[in-house]
């Protein structure tokens, strides 16, 4: 059988087909956009701590992934027979098709979003919480932008699926591409030629969208962005502004010298039957540097994470600047008083936890901007000042993927300093670094100690701990075995302590 190519080419100019193509484009885009937005909230509900939200989301996803779309479309289109009040809305094949396809796609797209959310390292959320950013802010500023980048290829693929599924809406008499083709070949019986034209229109829509998605993916691909160093004249201009700013220590809220900046009382923490922290008590005065040392598994990291609410406490109390910050089950990380005070305690993580979708400068400005601590110009000036303090001002426009490990950690320190916290916690800040990069980070921390900042440092760098610390705490098996000055530790006669120190 010979194909009638002149007939096929004629169909490519057919006005009914192009009108149907417009209907398909409108329907598919609306379904996709609604599915992407509502599917994201469904994915959040599925990952919620609320058992009710999680159950509702799980049931919804299970049901609408199980129900054939064709059956759903017919049910919705005929719903006015049971509920006449819906007649004005569902009597339109377009609206019935839009609602049916959207209900179905929400379930599928929610699973795509869930995969994107799962791909975001938990350290990103912890960094946001440590900066005092609330749940909604963490999702909006940190998680969603990264998750969307991860999910975008799958979301684009789902749009293509939606375009092809629009052919099913012909069952409720929507004049989309396939139905127009059916009406034509039922009159002239030129089935193959007409279906080839139908295929062209679907391929045309998909090809245009595919090219647009590729452009979008290239545009938002952070790995393709490689900004240069700041120019010397730009750095000089920023340094003039920095010179007029008050020193960091002058900007920090402190307490009387006789009152602890941070006080820990009777902290207890267990994971199941494993008792990790046992009756932990110590104080940190303003301007004091306290190093926490001890063998792996002694509870050091758990302790420092309880001090800012990243880990809950079973019992005990943490006071910050003279006010109760955390207490048993009374004042937790969900309490209003906790959120008011969290800005006064900073955290530097061992794995940096920089936000990869933001530049170095944007990383440093994010939390002060979120908390509206000052005008944008003032926050930017402070960010440049903190980057200059850690020797990273010339890298302000770069992205984290362009930096070495030592540079990332220095930016993480600058990000914490920009909040001007009264107490800074360091969780083994050099453990993720190559040996040659350790020194540059330790020098920055040492300079902060000389400025008089209050710091609690979990570290395995013994020489550094003895050099910068006012006090050293030795932990073993969840207990504080020693709390005193470096000189007192060196003079100890305790065999366990002497054995541990002798390893370094």
The predicted-structure confidence for 112-123, as pLDDT tens digits, reads as follows: 999 999 999 999
User: Residue ranges of the domains in the chain?
Assistant: 5-220, 237-501
pLDDT at 130 > cutoff 70 = yes
pLDDT at 58 > cutoff 90 = yes
Asked whether 435 and 405 are in contact (CB, 8 A), the reply is no
Q: Which residue has the tokens 């207490």?
A: 327
Give residue-wise pLDDT tens across range 340-375.
Answer: 899 999 999 999 999 999 999 999 999 999 999 999
How confident is the model at residue 86, as a pLDDT?
86
- CB-based contacts of 86: which residues, under 8 Å, 6+ apart? 79, 80
* CATH architecture of the domain formed by 237-501: 3-Layer(aba) Sandwich (3.40)
How confident is the model at residue 353, as a pLDDT?
95
How confident is the model at residue 253, as a pLDDT?
78
* Of residues 262, 269, 304, the one with CA closest to residue 284: 262
pLDDT at 147 > cutoff 70 = yes
pLDDT at 500 > cutoff 90 = no
* Of residues 451, 504, 449, 493, the one with CA closest to residue 471: 449
d(CA 52, CA 285) in angstroms, rounded, equals 45
Highest mean pLDDT among 101-105, 232-236, 295-299, 492-496: 101-105
How confident is the model at residue 504, as a pLDDT?
59
pLDDT at 95 > cutoff 90 = yes
The CATH fold assigned to 5-220 is MetI-like fold (1.10.3720)
pLDDT at 1 > cutoff 60 = no
How confident is the model at residue 250, as a pLDDT?
76
Burial class from Cβ neighbours inside 10 Å (0-12, 13-18, 19+) for residue 238 reads buried
d(CA 102, CA 189) in angstroms, rounded, equals 34
Burial class from Cβ neighbours inside 10 Å (0-12, 13-18, 19+) for residue 201 reads buried
Mean predicted confidence (pLDDT) in 221-237 = 88
Give residue-wise pLDDT tens across range 9-57.
Answer: 888 888 999 999 999 999 999 999 999 999 999 999 998 888 999 999 9
How confident is the model at residue 163, as a pLDDT?
93
Mean predicted confidence (pLDDT) in 323-337 = 81
Mean predicted confidence (pLDDT) in 75-86 = 89
Give residue-wise pLDDT tens across range 167-211.
Answer: 999 888 888 898 888 888 888 888 998 999 999 999 999 999 999
* Of residues 149, 474, 107, 75, the one with CA closest to residue 300: 474
Neighbours of 390 (CB within 10 A): 24
498: which 2 tokens? 């002497």
**Per-residue confidence band for 156, with pLDDT thresholds at 50, 70 and 90:** very high
Mean predicted confidence (pLDDT) in 266-289 = 93
How confident is the model at residue 44, as a pLDDT?
92
Mean predicted confidence (pLDDT) in 479-483 = 92
Q: Which residue has the tokens 């920090």?
A: 252
* Of residues 130, 146, 137, 144, the one with CA closest to residue 413: 130
40: which 2 tokens? 């994201």
| pTM passes above 0.85 | yes
């Amino acid at each position: 059988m010979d194909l009638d190519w002149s007939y096929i080419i004629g169909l490519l100019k057919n006005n009914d087909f192009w009108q149907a193509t417009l209907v398909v484009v409108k329907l598919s885009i609306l379904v996709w956009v609604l599915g992407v937005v509502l599917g994201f909230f469904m994915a959040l509900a599925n990952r919620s701590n609320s058992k009710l939200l999680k159950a509702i989301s799980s049931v919804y996803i299970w049901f609408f992934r199980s129900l054939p779309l064709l059956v759903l479309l017919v049910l919705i289109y005929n719903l006015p027979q049971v509920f006449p009040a819906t007649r004005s809305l569902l009597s339109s094949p377009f609206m019935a098709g839009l609602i049916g396809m959207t209900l179905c796609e929400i379930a599928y797209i929610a699973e795509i979003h869930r995969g994107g959310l799962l791909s975001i390292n938990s350290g990103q959320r912890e960094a946001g919480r440590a900066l005092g950013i609330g749940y909604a802010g963490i999702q909006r500023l940190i998680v969603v932008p990264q998750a969307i980048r991860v999910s975008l290829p799958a979301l684009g693929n789902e749009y293509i699926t939606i375009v092809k599924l629009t052919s099913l809406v012909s069952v409720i008499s929507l004049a989309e591409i396939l139905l127009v083709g059916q009406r034509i070949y039922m009159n002239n019986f030129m089935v193959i030629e007409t279906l080839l034209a139908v295929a062209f229109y679907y391929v045309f829509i998909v090809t245009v969208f595919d090219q647009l998605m590729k452009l979008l993916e290239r545009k938002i691909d952070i790995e393709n962005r490689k900004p240069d160093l700041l120019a010397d004249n730009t750095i000089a201009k920023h340094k003039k502004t920095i010179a007029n700013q008050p020193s960091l220590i002058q900007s920090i809220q402190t307490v009387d010298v006789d009152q602890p900046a941070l006080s820990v009382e009777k902290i207890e923490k267990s994971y199941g039957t494993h008792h990790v922290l046992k009756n932990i008590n110590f104080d940190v005065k303003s301007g004091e540097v306290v190093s926490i040392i001890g063998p792996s598994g002694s509870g050091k990291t758990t302790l420092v994470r309880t001090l800012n609410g990243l880990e809950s406490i079973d019992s005990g109390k943490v006071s910050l600047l003279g006010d109760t910050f955390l207490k048993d089950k009374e004042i937790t990380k969900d309490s209003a008083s906790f959120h008011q005070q969290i800005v006064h305690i900073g955290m530097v993580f061992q794995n940096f936890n920089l936000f990869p979708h933001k530049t170095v400068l944007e990383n440093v400005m994010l939390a002060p901007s979120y908390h509206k601590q000052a005008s944008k110009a003032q926050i930017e000036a402070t960010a440049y000042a903190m980057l200059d303090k850690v020797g990273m001002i010339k890298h302000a426009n770069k992205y984290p993927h362009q930096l070495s490990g030592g540079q990332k950690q220095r930016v993480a320190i600058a990000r914490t300093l920009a909040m001007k916290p009264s107490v800074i916690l360091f969780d083994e800040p050099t453990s993720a670094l190559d040996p040659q990069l350790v020194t540059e980070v330790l020098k920055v921390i040492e300079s902060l100690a000389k400025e008089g900042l209050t710091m609690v440092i979990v570290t395995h760098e013994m020489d550094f701990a003895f050099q910068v610390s006012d006090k050293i705490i030795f932990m073993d098996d969840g207990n504080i075995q020693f709390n005193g000055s470096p000189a007192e530790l060196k003079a100890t006669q305790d065999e366990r302590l002497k054995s541990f120190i002798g390893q370094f």
